[in-house]
Structure 1
Amino acid sequence: MTILTTQISFLLLLLLYVTTFHKITCTNHTVVRCNEKDRETLLTFKQDINDSLGGISTWSTEKDCCAWEGVYCDSITNKVTKLDMQFKKLEGEMNLCILELEFLSYLDLSYNDFDVIRVPITQHNITRSSKLVYLDLAPLIFDKTLHMDNLHWLSSLSSLKYLILSGIDLRKETNWLQAVSTLPSLLELQLSYCKLNNFMIKPSIEYFNLSSLVTLYLSGNNFTSNLPNGFFNLTKDITSLDLAQNNIYGEIPSSMLNLQNLRHLDLSENQLQGSVSHGIGQLANIQHLDLSINMLGGFIPVTLGNLSSLHSLSTGSNNFSGEISNLTFSKLSSLDELYLSNSNIVFRFDLDWVPPFRLHALSLANTNQGPNFSAWIYTQTSLQDLYLSSSGISLVDRNKFSSLIESVSNELNLSNNSIAEDISNLTLNCFFLRLDHNNFKGGLPNISSMALIVDLSYNSFSGSIPHSWKNLLELTYIILWSNKLSGEVLGHLSDWKQLQFMNLEENEFSGTIPINMPQYLEVVILRANQFEGTIPSQLFNLSYLFHLDLAHNKLSGSMPNCIYNLSQMVTLYVDALPSDTTIELFQKGQDYMYEVRPDRRTIDLSVNSLSGKVSMELFRLVQVQTLNLSHNHFTGTIPKMIGGMKNMESLDLSNNKFCGEIPQSMSHLNFLGYLNLSCNNFNGTIPMGTQLQSFNASSYIANPELCGTPLKNCTTEENPITAKPYTENEDDDSAKESLYLGMGIGFAVGFWGIFGSLFLITKWRHAYYRFIDRVGDKLYVTSIVKLNNFDRLWSG
C-alpha cells in the first residue's frame, strides 16, 4: 500500500511537472499577433508613403504587425497601442486613418518629410481612438508647407494630453483656440510656426477654459494684435509660455502676474511697448525670462533682483534706460545665463564686486563697457559663451584677460573693440572664435583642434601660420582678412578636410595654390597676396564652390579647361552658410560693396599675369553673376554662348588682349548692371540693344577699331543685326564654317579676278602675253650678262 501510494504520488508529481514545463515552454514561445483590423489600418496608412530608409517598407502582410518597426502592441489584447515613426525620412502622404486604431495611445510621426496630410472625411471612426494621449505630427522642415485646413477632428480625442503640431500650416483655421479648448485633459500644446494669425476669438476669449494646460508654445506665428486681457486667465497652472517671434504689440497685460507657477516665459522678438511692471518680482518660481528684441522702455525693475530662482535673463535690444548695478543681481545666485546686449543702460559695478552666480553664458555686446574690461567678468571662470563685441573695450588686465579667454569653451566673441594684446602664447579652446576688428598683435594664438569657426580678420597679427594649426581637422570656416601674415599658409589646406569658407585676403601669403584642396570648399578668397604659379585644375573640380576670388596676386599661365565641373555655378542650389559668415567684398571694378551670399556666384581672377585663350567652359557657368578677368593677358574672342549667362550682373574683361567683334548675344544679358570691355582689341560695331547701349563710353574705350553707340559712329553704316537665339555649339561650328567659307571665297575671287579677266577681255589677254615676253627677254639678257662677267672673273 505504501509503495502504491508512493508510486501514485510520483506519477502525480511527474504529471504536474510535465504540465508546468509545457505551460512555461508554450508561454516562452507564444507569438503575439496583432489584431487583423489593426493590421489593415496600418497597411492603409503605409500605402501612400515613400520610405528611403526602408523602415516602413519592411511592413509586410506575411509578418506579425506587432513585430513591425515602430509598432507596439499590448501583450494581452494584441491591439496596437503605440506607433513611433519619428526621424524615419518618410515622404508622401500622412494618412490620419491611423487614428482609427482603437487602443492607440501614443502616435509620433514627427521630423519626417510628408507633403500632404489627409484627414478622414467622416470622423466617426476617429472617435474610437479616444485613448490617444500623445500626438506629435511636427514636420522635419518648418519652412516646407504642410497644410491642414482645420482642427475640428481634435474634438474626438478626449483623452489627449500632449498635442504637437508645430510647423504645420494652419492659417485657414480661424478659431484654433476653440478647437483645442475641446480637449479637457490637455497638458501641453505646441503650435509654433503654424502661421496662425489671430487671438480675436468669438465668443470672447474668457469663454474658453484650458485649466489643465501647463505648457503652451505659440512662437513664430503672425499674431498682429495685442494680447487679450483674458489670455493669461485661460489657465492658472501654466509653467511654460512661449509667444516669441510674433507681431504682438501693446503693453504686457497685468494679468500675466497671476501665473504664479510660471517657470519659463518668452516674449522676445515682438513689438511690445510700455514699461515692465515692478510686480514681475512676484513671479517667484520663474527660471527663464526673455523680454529681448521689443520696444519696451523705462527702467528695468529693481524687483528683478528678487527672482532668486532665475537661471536665464534676457532683456537686450529694448529701449530701457537708467542704470543697473551689482545690487540688481545681488540675490540671483542661481543665474546661469545673462543676455543684456544692445542696451543703452549704464552699468555701474563696484570694482571689487564678486557676483553670487557663476555664469555659463554672458552677452554684453553693443553696450558701453569700456574702455576698461569690467573687473567682475574676470571672476566668471566657468563661461562657455562670452559675447563682448562692440563694447568699447581697449584696456585689459593682461594676466586675468589671458586666463579668462583661455577658459571659454564654446564661443568667444570680442570683435569690434580696440584690444591691442599679444596673445601668441595662448591656447584658445573654444569652438567658435571671433576676435576680428581689434588691434591684436604678434603671432597667431594656438587654437583647439576642435575649432569650427575662426575669424581673426582686421588685426595686426604677423608671422606665419602656427604649425599646431595643422591639427584643426574640424575647421569649417576661417577668415584672416587684412593682417600682416606671411608664409606658405596653403600647405595646411590638405589637412583641413572639412573647410567650407576661406578668406585670406590682404596679407602677404606666398607660395603656390596646392593641388589638394578640401572638397567641401564653397568660398575661396585669396585676394591681394603674393601667390604665384598656375591655377591648378583641381581647384575647378570643387563642386560646392560658388565664390572664387584670386585677384591681385602673381598667378600666371593659362586657365584650366575643366571649369564646367563647378556645378554650383551651373545649377542654382542655395546652401546655408554658418551663422554670421556673410562678409563684404570689393567687386564690379570699383569700390562697390556687397555680401558673400550662397545665392550669388562670383569668379574674380583680375590683376594677375594669366594668359592664353579663356576656356570656352567658363561661359557655360550660367549661374555666375560676377565675372572679372580684367588686367591680365588673355587673348581670343568672346564666344556667342556668353548670351546664355542670363544671371550676369557684373562683367569686367578690361585691360586684356581680347579681339574680334562683341557678340550680339550679349544683348540677352538683361540683368547686367556693370560692364567694362575697355583696353582690348575689339573691333566692329557694338551690337544694338537696350542693355549694351545703356553703358557710357568708358565701358568700351581704348578699342581703336570699335565703333557704334555709345562710341563714335562707324564710318560705314551697317544694317543692324537682329538678335536671335543660339545653341551651345554655335561658336565652334560658326568658327569652322567662317574659316572654310573665307578660304573658298578668297581662292575663287583671286582665281577668277585674274584668269577670268584674261579669258574674257582680248586687250588684257594680249597685254598679258606681251608682258610675259618682256619679262622673259629681260631675264634672258640679265642671265647672259651675269654669265659673261663670271667667265671673265674666273679666267682672270
Structure 2
Amino acid sequence: MDLSYNDFERISTPSINTSLVAHNHLPANFSMLYNLDLSYNLHLRIDDLHWLSRLPSLAYFGLRGTHHLPSETNWVRSLTLLPLEELHLYDYNLNTSILSLEYANFSSLKSLDLGLNDFRDGLPNWLFNLSKDNFNDLYLSQCNLGGQIPDFSGYQNLQGLYLSDNKLKGSIPDWLGQVDRLYDLDLSDNLLHGCIPSNLVNASNLEVLNISFNDLSGTLPKNIVQRHFVLLDLSHNSISGDISNRRDIPEQIEKMKDIESLDFSHNNLHGNIPQSMAGLSFLSVLNMSYNHFSGQTLLGTQLQSFDAWSYTGNTELCGAPLPNNCTLLEKLDNTKQVGGNDNNGFLSSLYLGMGVGFAMGFWVVCGSLFLNREWRHTYLQFFYDVVYGIYVAMAIKL
C-alpha cells in the first residue's frame, strides 16, 4: 500500500480483538499487507507505532521525510517484531530514540536506509548486530558522520554501501576489498585521503565505484582497468600519472567492455588518452576534463555523441569535438621544427665559411710575406710610411 506524497495528518487504525491477534486470525486487509509506505506526508504525526504489530506480513515499511516522531523511545523495538526486509527512514529526523536502543533483532532485514539523519555522535550499536546472512544494502548518506569509515566487515553478504556526503576521514580501509559480494560502493563527497587500495578493485563483484570529491592521491591501481565496471567515478581528486606510459592501462582498458559511465575529471592525469577506449561500445558518459591530457581525442562512431565538455581543460588535446584541429597543429609544429632546422643549418654554414675564409686569408697574406723577402721589405716600408705620415699629421695639428 503506497500512501506516500500525500498530506495526511493522523493515522487511525480500527480496533481489533486482541484474542484474534493472539490466534493470528486477522482481517485479510491486515494479515496480508506486505508493503506500507507513508513517506513524505510532511504534516503526519505518529504518536504510536505499536499498531504495526498487527501487520504480521509487513516486509516493506517506509517513513521517509516524516519528522514528527513518537514521543516514546522504544518504537524501533516494535519494528523488530515484524518480518521486515526493507526499512526506509531517510530524512526521518532520528534522534536519541534510535541511538539509545542497544539491541534490535531485525532478523529478516535486507535493506536499511537511514540517510539524511544526524549521526554526528555515532551510529547506534544495534546497527552492527544485524543478520549476517540476509543483510545486503545500507544507506548512510548525508548523516554527518565523522572519523574513519565504520567497520562493516562482518556483513560479508553486503552488496551496496552508501556513505556519500559525510565528513569521513582517513584512508579507504582494506576490508572493503574483502567483501566478496559488494556490488555498489559510494564514498563520494568526504574527506578521504591516501591512495586507492589495489585490493578494493579486486572485489570480485564490484561494478559501481564512486569515490569522487575526496582528496585521494597517488596513481591509478594497475588492475583498475581489468574490472568489469558499469560506473567508475574518480573525479575531483588529486590522482596523477601518465596513463599512456602505463603499458597495462592502454592494453587492458578495452576489457572494461561493460562500462557505461567513466569520469576521470579534475585530477592530475596526463599523457595520451588510450585509443583502445574507442572500443567501449556501451560507454554513454565520458568525462576526462581538467587534467593534462595531450594528443588526439577518442575516435569512433559511438563516441561522436560526446561534446567538448568531455575533454575541456586539457589545453594540449586536439580533435573533434574540440576546436583544436590536430592536422593543423601538427603542420604548425612541423613548420616550426623544419624552420628551426633550416636556420640552424644556415648559421652553421655561415660560421664555418667565415672560419675557413679567415684562415685562408690569414695564411695567404702572412705566408707570402714570410716566404718572399722582397715583398716583406716592401710591406714593412709601406707600413712605416703610413705610420710616419699619421705621426707628422698629428704633430702639425698640435
Aligned to 2:260: 360
Q: Distance in 2 between matches of 1:199 and 1:268?
A: 24
Size of the aligned set, in residue pairs, is: 309
- Alignment partner of 1:396 out of 289, 295, 299: 295
- Alignment partner of 1:240 out of 137, 153, 162: 137
Q: Distance in 1 between matches of 2:141 and 2:194?
A: 21
What secondary structure does 1:154 align onto? helix
Q: How far did 1:263 drift?
A: 1.1
**C-alpha contact (below 8 Å) 2:119/2:145 kept by paired residues:** yes
Aligned to 1:257: 153
Aligned to 2:351: none
Q: How far did 1:370 drift?
A: 3.2
Return the letter of the residue paired with 1:343: N
**C-alpha contact (below 8 Å) 2:169/2:192 kept by paired residues:** yes
Residue 414 of structure 1 pairs with residue 311 of structure 2: yes
- Alignment partner of 1:267 out of 163, 166, 169: 163
Q: Distance in 1 between matches of 2:143 and 2:289?
A: 27
Q: Distance in 1 between matches of 2:191 and 2:51?
A: 39
Provide closer, same or farther for how the CA distance between residues 135 and 406 of structure 1 changes in structure 2, counting only shifts above 3 A: same
Query: When you count helix as a share of all residues, which structure comes out higher?
Result: 2
Aligned to 2:183: 287
Q: How far did 1:408 drift?
A: 5.0
What secondary structure does 2:282 align onto? coil
**C-alpha contact (below 8 Å) 1:240/1:264 kept by paired residues:** yes
Query: When you count strand as a share of all residues, which structure comes out higher?
Result: 1
Residue 163 of structure 1 pairs with residue 61 of structure 2: yes
Q: Distance in 2 between matches of 1:210 and 1:253?
A: 20
TM score, norm. by length of structure 2: 0.67
Q: Distance in 2 between matches of 1:213 and 1:376?
A: 44
Return the letter of the residue paired with 2:159: R
Q: Distance in 2 between matches of 1:294 and 1:259?
A: 22
TM score, norm. by length of structure 1: 0.35
- Alignment partner of 1:337 out of 210, 213, 231: 231
Any idea what the Cα deviations from partners look like across 1:429-485, whole Å, max 9, x if unmatched?
xxxxxxxxxx6268xxxxxxxxxxxxxxxxxxxxxxxxxxxxxxxxxxxxxxxxxxx
Provide closer, same or farther for how the CA distance between residues 120 and 171 of structure 1 changes in structure 2, counting only shifts above 3 A: closer
Return the letter of the residue paired with 1:363: D
Provide closer, same or farther for how the CA distance between residues 131 and 200 of structure 1 changes in structure 2, counting only shifts above 3 A: closer
What secondary structure does 2:262 align onto? strand
Q: Distance in 2 between matches of 1:230 and 1:148?
A: 23
**C-alpha contact (below 8 Å) 1:336/1:361 kept by paired residues:** yes
What secondary structure does 2:295 align onto? coil
- Alignment partner of 1:346 out of 226, 240, 250: 240
Provide closer, same or farther for how the CA distance between residues 337 and 231 of structure 1 changes in structure 2, counting only shifts above 3 A: same
**C-alpha contact (below 8 Å) 2:292/2:316 kept by paired residues:** no
- Alignment partner of 1:405 out of 285, 289, 303: 303
Q: Distance in 1 between matches of 2:312 and 2:95?
A: 39
Q: How far did 1:357 drift?
A: 1.8
Aligned to 1:190: 88
What secondary structure does 2:109 align onto? coil
Could you tell which deviates more after superposition, 147-156 or 285-294?
Answer: 147-156
Q: Distance in 2 between matches of 1:391 and 1:309?
A: 29
Aligned to 1:369: 269
Q: Pairwise mapping of residues 589-600 of structure 1 onto structure 2 (< 5 A)? A: none
**C-alpha contact (below 8 Å) 1:324/1:348 kept by paired residues:** no
- Alignment partner of 2:323 out of 419, 440, 446: 440
**C-alpha contact (below 8 Å) 2:242/2:271 kept by paired residues:** no
- Alignment partner of 1:220 out of 89, 110, 116: 116
Return the letter of the residue paired with 1:247: N
Q: Distance in 2 between matches of 1:234 and 1:243?
A: 15
Any idea what the Cα deviations from partners look like across 1:125-169, whole Å, max 9, x if unmatched?
796455143233345xx5955443453332322321111222322
Q: Distance in 2 between matches of 1:386 and 1:392?
A: 16
Q: Distance in 2 between matches of 1:367 and 1:143?
A: 42
Provide closer, same or farther for how the CA distance between residues 347 and 210 of structure 1 changes in structure 2, counting only shifts above 3 A: farther
Aligned to 1:116: 8
Provide closer, same or farther for how the CA distance between residues 401 and 199 of structure 1 changes in structure 2, counting only shifts above 3 A: farther
**C-alpha contact (below 8 Å) 2:296/2:318 kept by paired residues:** no
- Alignment partner of 2:217 out of 309, 314, 321: 321
Aligned to 1:790: none
Q: Distance in 1 between matches of 2:12 and 2:41?
A: 25
Return the letter of the residue paired with 1:133: L
Could you tell which deviates more after superposition, 283-292 or 194-203?
Answer: 194-203
**C-alpha contact (below 8 Å) 1:199/1:225 kept by paired residues:** no
Q: How far did 1:405 drift?
A: 3.2
Q: How far did 1:348 drift?
A: 5.4
RMSD: 3.2
Q: Distance in 1 between matches of 2:172 and 2:15?
A: 47
Provide closer, same or farther for how the CA distance between residues 146 and 361 of structure 1 changes in structure 2, counting only shifts above 3 A: farther
Q: How far did 1:220 drift?
A: 2.4
Unaligned runs of 5+ in 1: 1-106, 427-438, 443-796
- Alignment partner of 2:78 out of 155, 172, 179: 179
What secondary structure does 1:258 align onto? coil
Aligned to 2:37: 137
Return the letter of the residue paired with 2:200: L
Provide closer, same or farther for how the CA distance between residues 221 and 132 of structure 1 changes in structure 2, counting only shifts above 3 A: farther
Provide closer, same or farther for how the CA distance between residues 341 and 246 of structure 1 changes in structure 2, counting only shifts above 3 A: same
Q: Distance in 2 between matches of 1:379 and 1:145?
A: 53
Return the letter of the residue paired with 1:245: Q
Provide closer, same or farther for how the CA distance between residues 412 and 235 of structure 1 changes in structure 2, counting only shifts above 3 A: farther
Q: Distance in 2 between matches of 1:420 and 1:298?
A: 29
Provide closer, same or farther for how the CA distance between residues 121 and 342 of structure 1 changes in structure 2, counting only shifts above 3 A: same
Q: Pairwise mapping of residues 466-505 of structure 1 onto structure 2 (< 5 A)? A: none
Identity, % of aligned positions: 30
Q: How far did 1:289 drift?
A: 1.0
Aligned to 1:303: 199
Q: How far did 1:379 drift?
A: 4.0
Q: Pairwise mapping of residues 325-724 of structure 1 onto structure 2 (< 5 A)? A: 325-330=221-226, 332=227, 334-347=228-241, 349=243, 350-351=246-247, 352-355=250-253, 356-358=255-257, 359-370=259-270, 372-375=272-275, 377-393=277-293, 395-397=294-296, 400-401=298-299, 403=301, 405-406=303-304, 408=306, 413-418=310-315, 421=318, 423=320, 440=323
Q: Distance in 1 between matches of 2:48 and 2:292?
A: 53
Q: How far did 1:108 drift?
A: 2.5
Q: Distance in 2 between matches of 1:125 and 1:440?
A: 77
Q: Distance in 2 between matches of 1:137 and 1:278?
A: 37
Q: Distance in 2 between matches of 1:229 and 1:298?
A: 29
Provide closer, same or farther for how the CA distance between residues 212 and 416 of structure 1 changes in structure 2, counting only shifts above 3 A: same
Q: How far did 1:259 drift?
A: 0.8
| Structure with more relative contact order (C-alpha pairs < 8 Å, separation 6 or more) | 2
Q: Distance in 1 between matches of 2:188 and 2:276?
A: 23
Provide closer, same or farther for how the CA distance between residues 376 and 243 of structure 1 changes in structure 2, counting only shifts above 3 A: farther
Aligned to 1:623: none
**C-alpha contact (below 8 Å) 2:192/2:214 kept by paired residues:** yes
Q: How far did 1:313 drift?
A: 0.8
Aligned to 1:151: 49
Q: Distance in 1 between matches of 2:198 and 2:141?
A: 24
